[in-house]
Each structure stands twice: as structure tokens, then as C-alpha cells.
Structure 1
Amino acid sequence: MDRTLGLGARAMAAALIASGALVALPHPAHAATVTISALQGSTRISPYNGTSVTTTGIVTAIRSTGSSRGFWIQSASGDGNAATSDAVFVYRGSTTPSTTVGNSVTVTGTVAEYYPGSANGSQSLTEISGATWTTNSTGNTLPSATTISNATVPATYTRTNSGGSINSFTLAPTTYALDYYESLEGMRVAVGSAPVVGASNEYAELWVNVKPTQVTSARGGSLYSSYSSQNSGRVQIGTLLSSTFPTATVGDTLSGATGPLDYIAYGGYTLQATTLGTVTSGGLAKETTATQSTSQLSVATYNVENLDPTDAASKFTALASGIVGNLKSPDIVALEEVQDNNGATDDGTVSATTTLSTLISAITAAGGPTYSYTQINPTNDTDGGETGGNIRQVFLYNPARVGFTARGTATATTANSVTTSGGLAQLTYNPGRIAPSNSAWSASRKPLAAEFTFGGEKFFLIANHFVSKGEDYSLHSQYQDPARASETQRTSQAAQVNSFTDSILAAQSTANVIVLGDLNDYQFSTTVSTLEGGVLTDLVDTLPASQQYTYVYDGNSQVLDHTLVSSAITSYDYDIVHINSEFPDQTSDHDPQVVRITP
């Protein structure tokens, strides 16, 4: 994921100025003198947008690294209006600002509205660009930080505007959480003591939720269980410090973080810590599922996050440890995001033999079985994902436990179908892809259907990896409700897989069908209900609500991965095995899951 998305506009403007194609106009000789609160105004867009102004404040924090350097200034007293922020960011591009925290400065520059990650419908960040300043005094006491807490953050996340922008509305900080955060934009804020609901990551970020009633998962996270359950108390914590960022797991507690409230592309409103406080461990451990009995068929699904031989050996070792130790060596494992033999090198390679043999060897070394596998190489660069990576679904299977007989020779563009043999349903190709030329699968992974036998019964498995949610607007978008553009394609994909399932059940109403994988959509989505289509049951729905999540994004614990079964499968144990999404040491960003079926 590109963490610099949204900086392009600034970089482009700078390049055009340097080339002479764009002229940087000087500030008017008589810039308007305004307070910071007046500059910010009571809506998301400054009433002085595009205007040269002069304002005064105390430097509260400095960002001295990266391409968005600058400093925050805040009024010593503010205007007493809860809807207007008393602080603003002074943008300096790649130049480290020559000022010091505690200085009182008078700044002259142009007010601008910056939209980080604009492709995701982001809100704007009001800032002063092209600034000059003078220092009035040094060593000033910083304005007191506003504590963000259960008492101050509204339970309602945002107003709606029929999908339109909410920029023009007067902020209602006691009614809507997004308005509350916007009213504090740039100001010093603090988190007294809050549960961690999103583990620390490689970008020195973590998530807390300051509203304890929104910590609803069985293991200390905040569940995203409907489109209206956005969990308004979620706040991202970043850092302006050079010291090591704390390692935090979901269920830990962060106390004492203080810093200006920023707005960034990924995550939205973010406390950029000048003081990080302390993390207290909640003791969360990675889960291990039960061992299946010899009479049970165990089937798992696991997104292995762009696995290829260029990954460190430790990733293969960790995946193997998870499959053997935490999943208890399932009989069949549907893998998503298996890349070709040289990963993102875009040279036409599509074979994944090295990727798979390396993983299988690691599993064997970890004490697991020697898996066999079946898969179909995609056509180069047609299935989405990382360019050159050629991700695909793969079935690992334990030949000592399950039977597999290849049938036909299907290629990436061969459409599988269903026939009958001896009165039972049978795939024309084993394995084969589902409707690969259908527009539903444009630039996306095609489902892989395969037929296995266990205990004298036949099982039809369909491994999926639906198109990602990358086109969707974020929850903190200026457009509310945020558009979910990618859902249209996923719903079409779900209809294709449901139709193929129907063809199996039309040939044999008692067929054992398992549809599984990374659907990139929620258990309450149109995508999943279309896939179920009256013939499949999503096993996520059979779990207690507090256990329904496979992925944590922006501090929300949510379901993206699913296992669905036909009505013939009635006796089973199902488990989402939380070994990744809640932890900073992730092998993948998804949690695997396993179903143990008694035929």
C-alpha cells in the first residue's frame, strides 16, 4: 500500500514551479490579519481558502522528516467556540522549519486546503503554505491538550448527505464524531488511557478506542458489524518522535499519548505524538484450533499475502508454523495470494512451482505432512494484485488423507463446468476455473474449483479471492455515506460463483460444496448474500458475534474471509484462528480459518 498517496499534487506543483510552467505568485502586500480560529472557520473548508493571511500562535510541534514537513501553531487562549479549531499546520514541503516548540510566532502565508489521498475521497487538511514568520518570544507554555475521551467523543460517527460532501456543513462537535475531530484539527490533544484496537505497524502507527463500550470483540477489538457501526471512538496514534515506537497488540492499553491532531490519507484523524506515554500489555496470545479426529475432514483457507520466493525465509517458516501448529495441519488448505516464482518482477513468469515447493518443504520441516497441490497458472498480468506477481488460489492437500484425481487439462482461460457420472455431480475439469472470460473477473482472480474425496464421499471446493475494496471511499471520507464502488464487481463475482454452485447442486442435490477464501467483503454485505443465494450458509454467522472477524483495518475488527457450505454439510466445527490480525508480528494481514467436517 502506497503510504505517500496524496503528496503527488504538492510534488507536481513544485516541479511545475521549478520548470517555469507554473508561477508562484507573491503574497499580497497587505495580508489579512486574522486569528487562527477565524482562519479555520466553523466548516471543514477555511473561509480564507486561497487567501494570504497573517496570524499568530505558539509552536506546539514540528515535523522534521519526510516530504510533508512543517509545524503546528495554536492560539494561547482560543475563541471559546467548540466548532472552530484553535490551531493550524504550517506546511514547509521537504524543508525542515527553523523554529522551536514554545516559540510565539507571527506567520504570513496562503491558506490552502490539502486533500491527502484524494482518490479515496478524503477530507481536507487546512494549512498555511508558502509561509514566512517572525518570532515574537520563546519558551512559552504550550496550550493545554484537549483530552479525547468517552465523555467527549459522540457515539454517532458522522452525518450523512446522500453520498455527497459534508464539507459545507457547520461543524456539530457534540453530535458527530467526525465533526468533533475536525473541530480539533491541528490542536494539542491527549489520550488518557485507552485500549489498543489496532496493533502497531511498520509505519509507526497504532489504533486506540477511547469509548470502552465500543470494545466488543472477544479479544479486545472493536467490531465492524454493520455499515452503521463505525466505532466513533477509534483514533490513530502516530509519532513525531525519533525514539522507538512502542510495540502494541490488540487488548493492550496505551496511556499518556499527547500531540497535535493531524489528518492523513490512511487512517484519517491521527494524534501525532510528541509524548507517547506507556503501553501496558493485555497478554493476548495467538490462538490454536482443536485437532480434528481421524474421521473428520479439515479444510482451511488462508490469505498468505503475496507469498513468493523473494520473501524472507522467516515468512515461509512462520506460515508453516501457523499451518502446522495453529491450524493443526488441515487436510486441505485453500491459499490466496500465492505469487509466481519471482514475485513482482514483471518478466512474463507465471509458474509458482518454486513458491509452492518452498512452502511445502517448510511445512514438512515444521512437522507437518508433505502436501501435494493443485492450481492453474494465470495469464500474465491479468488477475490484478501486484504487477508481475500473478497471484492465484492454490489447494494444498494431504494425499495421505484425501483423494484427488486430475481430470482434463484446463488452462487459465478454460471455463469449468459440471457433468454427472454414475448419478453424481462431477467437474469437467479437475481443477478448473469458473467463467474466466466473464467480465466479472476483469483484472481479478478467477475462482478455482476442485473435487476431492474423503471417507468415501466427494467434496467440491471453490477457492476465491474477490476483487479488493481499493476503489471504495474510507469511513472518514468527506462523502457520506462513503461510496463502495468496488462492491458492484464483487456482487457480480458472487453471482457467478453462486451460479456454478447451483449447477453442482442441480446435478446432485446432496453434493458437499465448500466455497471459501478472501471475499474482500463483510458478512452483512450484498456480495455475501448474493453468494449464499439460498443454497449456501456462511459459517461466520454461526459464531458468536464477538468472534466474527478475520482482519483489522483502521482499528475495526471485521470479516473479509469466509467459508460457506451447502446444506448437505450438517455436522462441523468451525473456527477463525486469530494469529495475525491483532498482532504486530504478522505473517499475513489476514487470519486463517478452518472447518472440521464429519461426513
Structure 2
Amino acid sequence: MHPRSTAPGRRRASVRAGAALAALALGASLVPSLVLAPAARAEVVVPGDVVIQEVYGGGGNSGAAYQSDFVELANSGAEPVSLDGWTLQYASASGTFNNSVTLRGEIPAGGTFLIQLASGNGNGEVLPAADATGGINASGTSGVFALSDSEGRLACTGTTCASDPAVVDLVGYGAAATFSGEAPAPRTSNATSAARVAATGENSTDFVVGAPTPQPSGAEAPTDPTDPTDPTDRVPVPATIAEIQGEGAQSPLVDRTVITEGVVTAVYAEGGLDGYILQTGGTGGARDLSTQTASDAVFVYSPDTVADVAIGDSVQVTGTVSEYYGSTQVSVRAGGLAPLAEALPAVEPVTLDAFPTEEAQRESLEHMLYLPGEGDFTVTDVYSTHRYGEVGLAIGDEPLVQAGDIMAPGQEATAYFAAQADKLVLLDDGRTTDFSRNADQPMSWLTTQEPVRVGAAATFTEPVVVAYSHEAWRLNPTQPWEDSATDGVTFEDTRQDAPVDVGGDLKVSTFNVLNYFTTLGEDTPGCTPYTDRAGEGTTVRGGCELRGAWGEDDLQRQQDKIVAAISGTGADVVGLTEIENSARLGETPDEATATLVDALNAHDGAGTWAYVPTADAYAAQGTDGGGDVITNAIIYKPAAVTAQGGAQILVGDEAFDNAREPIGQVFVPVTDGPGRSGKTGEGEPFLFVINHFKSKGSADAEDAGLEPDPVQGNARTSRLQQAEALREWTEERTAELGVEDVLLGGDFNAYTQEEPLQLFAEDGYVDLGAVHDPEGWSYSYGGMTGSLDHVLANESAADRVTGATDWSINAPESVLTQYGRYNTNVTDLYEAGPFGSSDHNPLVVGLDAGATSPSSSAPGKPAPGQAPYGPGGRFGKGGPHAAHG
């Protein structure tokens, strides 16, 4: 990162070169402990009487202070100087001198000479009457000005210009490659200029950034400042860190050059932050945020000196205060760091009862060392961890929860939704690395040795730094992240090798197979792949209808995980979503389902699994397959259940024009004795229907004219219509089939308390996950947890249920555990086994084969139709900050 001020510059007086040197000496004399050793110096332009006093390149731009660019010259000598035949020449930050202004006239002794340059789009004030004009169009942030006593174009570049005899003065600013001394002057903006405060020939310290103050030669010379604490001048002033931070979001000393001291508590010498943290000696410990309103720590941005400090050092720095992405910092150039002769009192990490949610209280902790207590934070988001090294943490002992999972949509839920951002803090890695562009660098936090999963407690064994950047509060390690053994954070191991036992004579489960396609991208014309870091395809990106694996090896990785997971559920009947609709692709109907069943039988034993064929059921209704390239499917174990009759498919209802048709099958449990039906070896039949409603991710015409609902997301009308169609169809099918018990499972793309689920509750359906596993959830999106996947039982079927559980193998995991992200980074998170087999958790339900058993009355998150918990209830500590699933 390169620092830049995002705050407007403060007005300050223009200072003549000679007066500036005197004022600088006055300011330095106030801090006798400041002893700076002379640095080895590159070539410099030895300042004479005439110097470049101020440069401004933002003229007329958006937010500009003045309508025109300008350069101000100053004469610190006792005699006037003629400029006849002199030139002011300009080069871009990395270019050559190709634009100039020929000068005429003289600069009076002790006076200034204003040169008006190109004008922009009319923003800002009009410049005072200038002494010369020219057409140079300077950069508002980075560039090079040279003052020459010759009319010939300067041919020099880089450091050679400082020794060119034709160069009277040279100022490179911002990212300029040509400058005088060790480094260029600070970067400017449309609202700020770089003005001289010293005349040593070192651009980086001779100039500071502030509000422009153009002074033509006829203007009255400003009075030399006598009060070095005056906020309008550029003289370095001593200030405590708390004074630099101030009590608000922005430092009161922005654009000022300050001298301060502290103990180094964190160092970021590599990884892109290029700086270190200073904290006032002796501060920290138990902190009362109601009385301590200013932070005692600050970030020092200093690529020049970061290698010279270590944690625990007591140092003094001189630099310019700015706000970078809302974070207060002091930018220190070479020569601006000095060790203190005596060590300051040690810093203690701040301890708190709980991390604050109020912005002002967080500001009072900015950059301070902090040691969270046990139970203070829980992982709530790992979606972008593999890219930016950020782990989303929820304050407290639970992840954030989707509003629609715990309360009905409406004003209360919307308000709850909006409030959840205050409960999120990012655990950062102390780096600026985008690992998607640096795949050969090991990702931060994510390893196979210590999986970082949503819902896991984060326990801090070492202090961290409270930081703010890019519109988020963060906790940074005190050094850039290196490995899980030394990062100072321990993540709870929440992986379950098997689901909780749900009892019953047989088990029914849902399973999202993450676009399981046996038709491969590499074999299909037009398909383009997502690639790994070696450039090899892994999954289909676009260009065709396919959505799954790119090649045979990719399919094998995907299939291995799915097989391990489905087998691991212990289920006897499994409803699948997101499986290839082979018929739609011109392949043999149910080909993908059959392939998966073959793989399961190879794993669990020949004949263990079978599938429900769909071709005849579609043909009977005048179609050769479903309307989408993905479909639903049902697989089962013939030893546990018998499929009675053929597949039941809801075809032709316009409610499902933008979703997958529900597919059902009547099953009869296989028992050792007579079931409820009275038939030996047969339990009570039930109808199981697998569903996949329209997603929340894209809007559709059905919602036209409705107010946006951040809780329910897009296409909420479509999902409600699909729920109504499914309910009516189910009533018709059970009446015709003579089946009493119904289980409706799958991905409803609706959370527990949203309208589609409430519709079923009105008809007496029970959401089995909500009742039997109130702490469970099936999906993680936008840093929030919730259940999109459900199994709903009508009243008679609910009497047969012995338990239900979300097997948390997928939703809490990083996406890099999935088959399609294989070899994305040098750290490979793909492992054999069920974890990361999909992005949805399976829900496993225990079912009695035929005898009636009372349903569970376990308390928890309310099932649809029950009174929802409000913000003060069981789930009041968590909640959503995004709306889609």
C-alpha cells in the first residue's frame, strides 16, 4: 500500500525558504532528545537563492483547490534575481522533460514568483494574478519540475538530473523517479500542494503536503510564524500519540508534520504494509472505554525505516499525519527515525469485557495492542480468506445468523439484518497480498493441519493490533502471518467424522452434489474452464450449458468426496440436488445419477444403492426431461426400502419455469415383522419429494414493483408460488396414491422463518431440522449462517420422526476444500473424505419404519409458524449482514 491522505488539506501560510529554515530549527529545539544521524545522501541540487517553493498539479480537477496548476518560486537572497532566459520544465513521474515555460522578469529579494500553468475543468478558486503563464498540464499526484537557467530542453532523467549544471532546482513528488536526494517529496492530491519548509536539497524532507497557498511577487509577504504549535504552519511540532489520534474518526493534525515517540508493538517489514505500530509507553491493560476516548497507538508508514525497528524498541519519529482508508498514520521518511536513549515503560495489551460495537469506542482502540479473552470471537466467514487472508469473526460465542432463519420478514427482521455489520470484525494477516494473483505464496490462516471453519471459536494466545482499513475493523497479528504454529490464534476443531445419531429404523437425507456432471467440459465444444495455478482446467466456467467438472481427474476428485459423504450419512434414502440433467444434454436419461450410484456401490458393496428412474415419468407427461441443465434425483438402499410405483414429477406448472421440478417417490420400509399396514416385512409407506426452488441470487419479473427485501433477497415471489404449487400437487398425489405420510426435502432457498416455509407450517408441516437440531444450519453466505435446506414432515410423518441433524461437513469449510479449487494455491486444501464435498450441509432424518412415536419437543429456533425469537432471544447475539443464499 502507498499512503495517501483522504482528508482535505488544512490552510497554512506560505513560508519563504530562509524563514522556513529558521522555523524548522525552532521546532527542533523544543525536542532535545531528537538526534538524527546524517544519512548517506544521493546527488542533490544545492539550494541557492532561487528555489522552487511550491508545486500544485490538481488545478480544475474534481475537489481541486484552484482552477489552474501552478509553481511558485522564491528568492531568499538579499538582491532581486532576473529570470530572463530561464525555463520551468516538467516531466511525468516516469518520463522525460517534454514541456516547459520560458520565464521573463525578476523575483524581488525575499519575494515570490507565481507561474500559472494549465487549467482543468473549472473546479476550485481562481489563482491570484500570476507573474508568468504556461501550458504545462501537471499531474495532481506525481511528477517532476525542474528550474533551469537555460532555455534548452533538459535531457537528464533519474538521479543524474540533480548533478546537471543547467538545473537550478529540482522537485520530484509522489511516485516520481526523478528527484533531488534520497526520495521524492510526498504525494499530492487535487486539494493539496507540496510546499518547501527547508532547503537542504532532500526533496523527501524539504517538502510537506498541505492546502495550496499561491503567492505572486506583488503579494504582501507573510509573517514568519513564531508559534510552532499553530495548526496552519508546516513546522514539525511535538505531539503525543493520543494528540495525533484525537477523539474523532480523523486526526486533528492531518497534513501536519509531527514529532512523537513510543514503543514499537508490531512490525510489518514485508507483506506490503511497510510500517510499524507505535504505542505510548506504559499504556494498555484493562481499559475503560467510557473515559479513555483517544487511542494511544498509531501506525507509522515508513518503507525507509521499517527494517530498522523491532518489537519492543523505544523510538522517536518525525513525519506527516494523514488518514489512509480511514486509518490514522504518520508517514516517516529516511532520517525521520531515532532510537531513544532510555527505554519507555513497557506496553500491556488492552483487555476488555467484550469488543465494542460502537464506532467511537473502536476508534479509541485504533492500532492498540489487544488480547481477546476466551469466547470473545467466533469464526463467521471464511469465504474470501483464501484470497485476502481475512477471517470474519463474530463478537461472542456464536457466528452471525441470517435474520430470516430466526424471525419472520418485516421491519423487525430488516432492522436486525442492518444491525449485524456492527458485530463483525476481520482477523487479518498483516499483509496486503491478493493470493489469487500470488498463488505460489502460501495462503494465510488456511491449512490442513488446523482447518478454519465457520462456527469455530477463535482463541488468542498472543495479542493482536486493532486496525481499520477498507471500511472494516480488523485484528492484525503483530507480524505478517507465517504459519499456523506461530500465528497466536487457535481455532476450535469442529469437524464431525459422522453425523449425530438420529435413531429410527431408517434414515432419509438431503444432499446437494455441487453440480455433479458426468458430461465433461473438456469434451464439449464451446466450454471454457476455470484453471488452477498451473493453467489446467478444473471446472466449467462458461461458453456452454455445462456446470461441473472439466476433466476426468476433476470428476474423480468430486465423485470421491460425494461418495464418502453420502455413504457417511448412513442414510437409506437420499434426495439429490444440483445433479446433471443428462436428458437435457442429449445424453442417456439419468446417466449422471446412474454413474454416481455405480460409484457408491463400488464403495459400499454391489447392490447397496439404486436410483429412481425418471424417463418414463417424464415421457408420460409429454416431455423428455426437466427444464434445467441441473435436476433433482433420488437414490436409495433396496435392502432398507422398496420403491412403490414410479417417480412422481411435477411437470407443466409455470411456477417452476425458473426452477427445478420436484421429483417424488413412494417408499415402503423393509421390516422384520408386520408394519402398521399389517403386511409382514413392510412398514408404513411414505412419499419423499426432493425440491430445489429458485435461488435468491437473481431478480425475476415476479418481483417487479415490490420493495427490495434484504432479508428474503431476490425472487421471493417465485419461491412462494413454487411452495404453493408444491403443496397443492402433494395433496393431489397423496390422495391419488393413497399415502398418508409425506416428507418434503431439499434446497428451498428460503430460510426457516421466510414465507415459503411459513406456508407449509400453516398446513401443519414441521421443519424437522428446526425442531430436532435447533443449533444446526445448512448454508453460509455473506458471513451469516442459516438453513436453506429442509426436510418438512406433515403431521402423520412427523409422528414417525426420531431425530434430525445437520451434518456440518460443507457449509463451514473454505471453498478451497472443494474439488474445483484444487491446486488454486501452493497450499492444497483438498483432502480425501467428506469435508468440502459441497457447499450445503446434508440434513439427516431418523424415521420409524411404521410404529407411531411421539415427535420431539426440543426447544430451539422456531419452526415455521411458531413464535419467532426477537433480537433479545436465543439467537440475539448473531444475525445477518447480507441477504442472498
Q: Shorter-chain TM-score category?
A: 0.5 to 0.7
Preserved contact between residue 192 and residue 257 of structure 1 (Cα < 8 Å): no
**2-structure distance, mates of 1:45, 1:339:** 55
User: CA, structure 1 residues 261+553, in 2 after alignment: closer, same or farther (shift >3 Å)?
Assistant: farther
Cα deviation code 1:72-99 (max 9, x no counterpart): 3333366995232233335579x99555
Preserved contact between residue 90 and residue 128 of structure 1 (Cα < 8 Å): yes
Tell me, yes or no, if structure 1 residue 367 matches structure 2 residue 604: yes
2:664 alignment counterpart: 451
Tell me, yes or no, if structure 1 residue 286 matches structure 2 residue 523: no
Letter in 1 for 2:656: A
User: CA, structure 1 residues 130+267, in 2 after alignment: closer, same or farther (shift >3 Å)?
Assistant: closer
Cα deviation code 1:174-228 (max 9, x no counterpart): xx4x5544432221111354487339865666577785xx46xxxxx78775665
**1-structure distance, mates of 2:664, 2:271:** 52
Correspondence list, 1:373-522, <5 A: 392-398=630-636, 400=638, 401-402=642-643, 405=646, 427-428=650-651, 434-436=655-657, 446-455=659-668, 458-464=687-693, 466-468=695-697, 485=710, 487-504=712-729, 507=732, 514-519=743-748, 522=751
Preserved contact between residue 222 and residue 231 of structure 1 (Cα < 8 Å): no
1:61 alignment counterpart: 266
**1-structure distance, mates of 2:610, 2:809:** 22
Preserved contact between residue 205 and residue 239 of structure 1 (Cα < 8 Å): yes
2:674 alignment counterpart: none
Preserved contact between residue 765 and residue 795 of structure 2 (Cα < 8 Å): yes
| Offset of residue 324 of structure 1 | 0.2
**2-structure distance, mates of 1:182, 1:340:** 54
Letter in 2 for 1:539: L
**2-structure distance, mates of 1:191, 1:589:** 31
1:319 alignment counterpart: 562
Cα deviation code 1:371-393 (max 9, x no counterpart): 547799xxxxxxxxxxxxx9845
The total of aligned residue pairs comes to: 484
| Offset of residue 105 of structure 1 | 4.6
Question: TM-score with structure 2 length normalisation?
Answer: 0.45
From 459, 462, 476, the equivalent of 1:254 is: 459
**2-structure distance, mates of 1:374, 1:83:** 68
| Offset of residue 302 of structure 1 | 3.2
Letter in 2 for 1:54: V
**1-structure distance, mates of 2:572, 2:490:** 36
1:171 alignment counterpart: none
From 115, 118, 132, the equivalent of 2:333 is: 132
Preserved contact between residue 37 and residue 78 of structure 1 (Cα < 8 Å): no
User: CA, structure 1 residues 195+84, in 2 after alignment: closer, same or farther (shift >3 Å)?
Assistant: closer
The worse-fitting range, judged by mean Cα deviation, of 76-85 and 184-193 is: 76-85
Preserved contact between residue 90 and residue 127 of structure 1 (Cα < 8 Å): no
Tell me, yes or no, if structure 1 residue 594 matches structure 2 residue 797: no
**1-structure distance, mates of 2:494, 2:350:** 27
2:299 alignment counterpart: 89
Alignment gaps of 5+ in structure 1? 115-124, 159-175, 216-220, 342-348, 377-389, 408-425, 438-445, 471-482
From 471, 487, 493, the equivalent of 1:276 is: 487
**2-structure distance, mates of 1:96, 1:335:** 57
Q: CA-atom RMSD, angstroms?
A: 5.3
2:247 alignment counterpart: 42
**2-structure distance, mates of 1:435, 1:78:** 63
| Offset of residue 542 of structure 1 | 0.9
User: CA, structure 1 residues 467+223, in 2 after alignment: closer, same or farther (shift >3 Å)?
Assistant: closer
User: CA, structure 1 residues 594+187, in 2 after alignment: closer, same or farther (shift >3 Å)?
Assistant: same
2:169 alignment counterpart: none
Letter in 1 for 2:650: L
Cα deviation code 1:108-135 (max 9, x no counterpart): 3462352xxxxxxxxxx41448763610
Matched residue of 2:209: which SS? coil
1:548 alignment counterpart: 776
Alignment gaps of 5+ in structure 2? 7-61, 63-91, 96-137, 143-187, 189-193, 195-207, 211-232, 408-412, 432-441, 480-485, 517-538, 540-547, 616-627, 669-684, 700-707, 818-834, 851-885
**2-structure distance, mates of 1:106, 1:402:** 78
| Offset of residue 323 of structure 1 | 0.9
Matched residue of 2:632: which SS? strand
Tell me, yes or no, if structure 1 residue 300 matches structure 2 residue 510: yes
Question: What percent of counterpart residues are identical?
Answer: 15
2:573 alignment counterpart: 331
Question: TM-score with structure 1 length normalisation?
Answer: 0.62
| Offset of residue 322 of structure 1 | 1.6
2:141 alignment counterpart: 23
1:108 alignment counterpart: 319
Preserved contact between residue 491 and residue 530 of structure 1 (Cα < 8 Å): no
User: CA, structure 1 residues 488+288, in 2 after alignment: closer, same or farther (shift >3 Å)?
Assistant: closer
Tell me, yes or no, if structure 1 residue 578 matches structure 2 residue 775: no
**1-structure distance, mates of 2:698, 2:363:** 25
**2-structure distance, mates of 1:292, 1:578:** 18
Letter in 1 for 2:843: Q
User: CA, structure 1 residues 206+244, in 2 after alignment: closer, same or farther (shift >3 Å)?
Assistant: closer
Preserved contact between residue 261 and residue 270 of structure 1 (Cα < 8 Å): yes
**1-structure distance, mates of 2:733, 2:492:** 53
User: CA, structure 1 residues 451+305, in 2 after alignment: closer, same or farther (shift >3 Å)?
Assistant: closer
Matched residue of 1:489: which SS? coil
Matched residue of 2:570: which SS? coil
| Offset of residue 237 of structure 1 | 3.8
| Offset of residue 137 of structure 1 | 1.2
Preserved contact between residue 369 and residue 466 of structure 2 (Cα < 8 Å): yes
Letter in 2 for 1:574: A
Preserved contact between residue 370 and residue 465 of structure 2 (Cα < 8 Å): yes
Structure scoring higher RCO (CA < 8 A, sep ≥ 6) equals 1
Q: Is the radius of gyration larger for structure 1 or structure 2?
A: 2
User: CA, structure 1 residues 543+506, in 2 after alignment: closer, same or farther (shift >3 Å)?
Assistant: closer
1:421 alignment counterpart: none
Preserved contact between residue 727 and residue 760 of structure 2 (Cα < 8 Å): no
2:766 alignment counterpart: 537
1:165 alignment counterpart: none
User: CA, structure 1 residues 488+450, in 2 after alignment: closer, same or farther (shift >3 Å)?
Assistant: same
Preserved contact between residue 60 and residue 188 of structure 1 (Cα < 8 Å): yes
User: CA, structure 1 residues 493+222, in 2 after alignment: closer, same or farther (shift >3 Å)?
Assistant: same
| Offset of residue 256 of structure 1 | 1.6
Letter in 1 for 2:643: V
Preserved contact between residue 459 and residue 514 of structure 1 (Cα < 8 Å): yes
User: CA, structure 1 residues 208+566, in 2 after alignment: closer, same or farther (shift >3 Å)?
Assistant: same
Letter in 2 for 1:491: R
**2-structure distance, mates of 1:355, 1:273:** 51
1:382 alignment counterpart: none
**1-structure distance, mates of 2:811, 2:472:** 16
**2-structure distance, mates of 1:111, 1:334:** 55
User: CA, structure 1 residues 297+549, in 2 after alignment: closer, same or farther (shift >3 Å)?
Assistant: closer
